[in-house]
Amino acid sequence: MTEMLVIFSKAFEIATKQINTNMNTVIDEKRNETPQLSEKQVRLIIQNWIQNLNIKLGWISDFDKLVTKYTKYFKLVKILKGHDHAVRCVRFSPDGRKIVSSSDDNTVRIWDVNSGKQIQCFEGHKDWIYFAEFSCNGHMVVSCSHKAIRLWDVKSGKELIKYGNLSEIRIVKFSPDDKYIVSGSHDKIVRLWDIESGKEIKQLVGHFDRVNSVQFSSDCQMILSASHDETICLWSVKTGEILKKLIGHSDAVIRAQFSPDNQFVVSCSNDKTVRIWDIKLGKELKIFKGHLNNVSDTKYFPDSQTVVSCSWDKTIRLWDVKTEYEIQKLEGHSRWITSVDVSPDGNIIVSSSNDTTVIIWE
């Protein structure tokens, strides 16, 4: 049985390379589309290896699910151009129909996913905009730059609130009920803000270097933060105390995100790895290796079975959580990839880059 597993693993790896070779073809709408593997062809490649090894489908637990993953792959469908400088961040709207991007050109832009056209441009920031995202009801956008956090009305495009004269803000996120925002900054502090009053209501102090990532849990009871100090912290919103500190990365942690059920955390780092952590145990469960440079962003798919990551190595990689296999590698950006997001239904990926573009993958 062990020998068969080893043989199967090798065959699986070779089949993966065959699939990825065809999937990595870059498509630009302004060029002729290069033929891609069809769903049927992908199935045939894997089935060929199964037949060669005399392995029947279902012989290995969950193998059917793995085959299904390989029949659903992503390819480049749109390149969105409009920003004049590096695009720092891109995020989907809650309904998946729009995306918001922030850039070193000091603008926040909203795009229509279907058409790929820009539909809004928010101007007001005086410096690079590190991050922007939609509120959970989709009516607002929050963005942060060197010294300010700004809140925008999506429909009118007007600025609603400005939080100014702050330490360099690296990240800002809405709470799931849209009543609060949480920010992480260069001064090592995580801050909570009340949206209605526009006032800071709490400081979470415990990191020893700048805070790169923050996020509320879906029940608003916890806040997750990641720092240049190589740690990830879980905080109690009520008490402001550290509940867990996740230690294992060997370089700055750039992003940390809850799994959809709040039981796990996925993180990425300048140590070139993506890791999964068990919140209850406070321990590292998985480590994904393959990126060749700093990993700048990562996120769970809605089904929690797949993780996506992007890197300064100009690639986006999809990982199977259970097996730790790299499912697919996407290439299309010409410079560092700064962020990646997954649509609410899991069918579309969007990415941003220092090459000034946003790419949509389906």
- The distance from CA 14 to its chain's CA centroid, rounded to whole angstroms, is 27
Domain ranges of the chain: 2-71, 76-361
- Say if CB 227 and CB 233 are below 8 A apart: yes
Q: How far apart are CA 298 and CA 267, in angstroms?
A: 7
Residue 112 confidence (pLDDT)? 98
Under DSSP, is residue 222 helix (H, G, I), strand (E, B) or coil? Answer: strand
Q: How far apart are CA 333 and CA 1, in angstroms?
A: 43
Q: How far apart are CA 346 and CA 300, in angstroms?
A: 10
Pairing of strands 87-92, 264-269: unpaired
Residue 8 confidence (pLDDT)? 44
With b meaning 16 or more CB within 10 Å and e meaning fewer, what string describes 14-27?
ebbebbbebbeeeb
Under DSSP, is residue 15 helix (H, G, I), strand (E, B) or coil? Answer: helix
Residue 27 confidence (pLDDT)? 35
Edge-first strand order for the sheet with 211-216 is: 211-216, 222-227, 231-236, 242-247
- Say if CB 264 and CB 256 are below 8 A apart: no
Q: How far apart are CA 241 and CA 263, in angstroms?
A: 19
Q: How far apart are CA 14 and CA 35, in angstroms?
A: 21
Confirm or reject CATH 1.10.357.10 for domain 76-361, answering yes or no: no
Average pLDDT for runs of 10 along the chain of length 362:
40 47 39 43 48 44 48 88 97 98 97 97 94 98 93 95 86 97 96 93 97 97 98 97 98 98 97 98 97 98 97 98 96 98 98 98 97
Residue 147 confidence (pLDDT)? 85
Residue 36 confidence (pLDDT)? 46
